[in-house]
Amino acid sequence: MIERRHFLLGSAAVGVTSLAWWSADGARDAVANEKVFEVTFTEAEWKERLSQGAYLVLREEATERPYTSALLKEARSGTYVCGGCALPLYASADKYDSKTGWPSFSRAINETAVGTETDYKLVFPRTEAHCSRCGGHLGHIFDDGPAPTGKRHCINGLALNFVVAA
């Protein structure tokens, strides 16, 4: 049986840790909301322009369910562009099957297309990927990808549109 003092100490530790995560997220959100992007719309305009799923991912930082994206098995040659502003983000040549359930890429199309921030929403910090032109949330970047980059850009399909190569 757990002693009362151990239970109380454990509960206090969880509370402080949760507060730290909440504070870190609140600070990050406050900073993110202050950023000015080249493409901006009001929340009402974003809701008009995007499907409900794309809005939730791009603007509310939701994550789509794994293995549900139509882009997961897309194998044609082309470019993956931001679903919010059509900025080219990923080349089909850099797409691979990470077996995670989300479209994955070894690198962005160029060094300026995808911005990053540290995300503290889970127990450990993650690198959040967002569109550098409109700020739309794309997914996360991990250090377990293939050579030569060693990166896995794990991206929500709802955040992207695919443009077939001409």
DSSP lists the bridge partners of residue 117 as 128
State how far the Cα of 63 lies from the Cα of 52, in Å rounded to an integer: 13
> Which of 112, 104, 113, 103 is CA-nearest to residue 144?
104
CB 55 within 8 A of CB 151: no
Whether residue 26 has pLDDT greater than 50: no
Reply yes or no on whether the pLDDT at 27 is more than 70. no
CA count, 13 A, side-chain hemisphere, 100: 21
Q: What is the mean pLDDT of the chain?
A: 84
Pick from 102, 92, 100, 96: nearest CA to 69:
102
CATH architecture for residues 35-164: Beta Complex (2.170)
Q: What is the pLDDT of residues 130-139, one digit of tens each?
A: 999 999 999 9
**Can you tell me the mean pLDDT for 24-32?**
40
- Count the neighbouring beta carbons within 10 Å of the beta carbon of residue 142: 16
pLDDT confidence band for 123 (50 / 70 / 90) = confident
**82, 85, 131, 154: which is the annotated catalytic residue?**
154
Residue 131: count of CB within 10 angstroms of its CB: 26
Whether 82 sits among the annotated catalytic residues: the reply is no
Q: Kindly report, residue by residue over 53-107, the tens digit of the pLDDT.
A: 999 999 999 999 999 999 999 999 999 999 999 999 999 999 999 999 999 999 9
Q: Which structure tokens are listed for 124?
A: 């450990």
